[in-house]
Structures are given as C-alpha cells and as structure tokens.
Amino acid sequence: MRYTTSGQKAVVIAVLLAVSVILALLFNALHSEVGSIILTVLQVLGWYLVSRLFRGPGEPVRAARPWWRMTNRPLLSGALAAAYGLVAVVNIGFSFAGFGSLSGTVSILAELAFAALFALSYLRLASLARATA
C-alpha cells in the first residue's frame, strides 16, 4: 500500500505519534531504560517504513522508492535534516549537562541517523532537480 494524499499521510502520522506517546508514557511510568531503548528502535523503524510508503506528486506509486529517498522534495528533506540535527545537538547538550543516560544516547544516535538520511535525501534530490532543470 502506498499513501499519496495528504489526508492518508496525516492519518498515518497521527497513528504513529499516538502510539509513540502512549508507549513513551507507559515506559516512563515503569521507569524502564530498556523500554525507552525499545521505543526508540520502534520509532526509527516506523518512521523509516513510512518514508518508504509515502509518495509525492509525480513520484511512481508502484516502484520501490530508493533507500536514500526520504521525501519527494529537496526542501522538505533539508528542513527535516536540520530539525533532526538541531534536536540531536540540544540532546547532546543535555547529556553534557548531566542528564545523560543510555536511552538518551540511543535517541541521539537515532536523531543523528535521521539527520544524515534526510541530508543525503536533500543532496540527491537537489542534484536530480538541477539535472532535470
């Protein structure tokens, strides 16, 4: 199944966010470091899966999306790369300020991985746009 309309994508994102919030509240209530790490891994898998299923205007629906293509637009990929990078930097700052933990480190690594994936997506999509312009 591929999601092509804004409404379909909004529903999928809302479900992912709701599940993430519920699990985060549960693991926080249980004070589970392992649970927080599992949640981060599940979030990474969920968001990467969504990037495989969403399609933008003019993008082939049936064909598999290249592994590096996180969005359909360079600007969106660039903005998300900057956002994930900024969140990672803030969390690194919190870690140095004494709020670090193993689950925090795993979260930072996930944020850095997404920042890198979105940055690569931005670079390749921008290159494709220049080549076809």
What pLDDT does 55 receive? 92
> With DSSP H G I counted as helix, E B as strand and the rest as coil, what are the percentages for the chain, rounded to 5?
75, 0, 20
Cα distances (angstroms) measured from residue 62 to each of 37, 53, 59, 77, 87: 34, 10, 9, 22, 34
Q: Which residue has the higher pLDDT, 115 or 20?
A: 115
| pLDDT for the residue 116 | 97
Q: Examine the pLDDT at 31 and tell me if it is beyond 90.
A: no
Rounded Cα distance between 74 and 81, Å, is 10
Q: What is the mean pLDDT of residues 28-35?
A: 85
Helix (H, G, I), strand (E, B) or coil at 1: coil
Within 8 A by CB and 6+ apart from 4, the residues are 54, 55, 61
Residue 106 pLDDT grade (very low, low, confident, very high; cuts 50, 70, 90) = very high
pLDDT of residue 82: 97
The confidence score (pLDDT) of residue 30 equals: 82
Q: Domain ranges for the chain, please list them.
A: 6-132
The CA distance from 31 to 26, in Å, is 9
Query: ∠ CA(77), CA(82), CA(86), 5° rounding?
Result: 150
Local structure of 54: helix, strand or coil: strand
The pLDDT, as a whole number, for residue 29 is 81
What CA–CA distance (Å, rounded) separates 41 from 12?
18
- Asked if the model's pLDDT at residue 35 lies above 80, the reply is yes
State the pLDDT confidence band at 122, using cuts at 50, 70 and 90: very high
Q: Is the pLDDT of residue 46 over 80?
A: yes
Q: Which two tokens stand for residue 98?
A: 């004494």
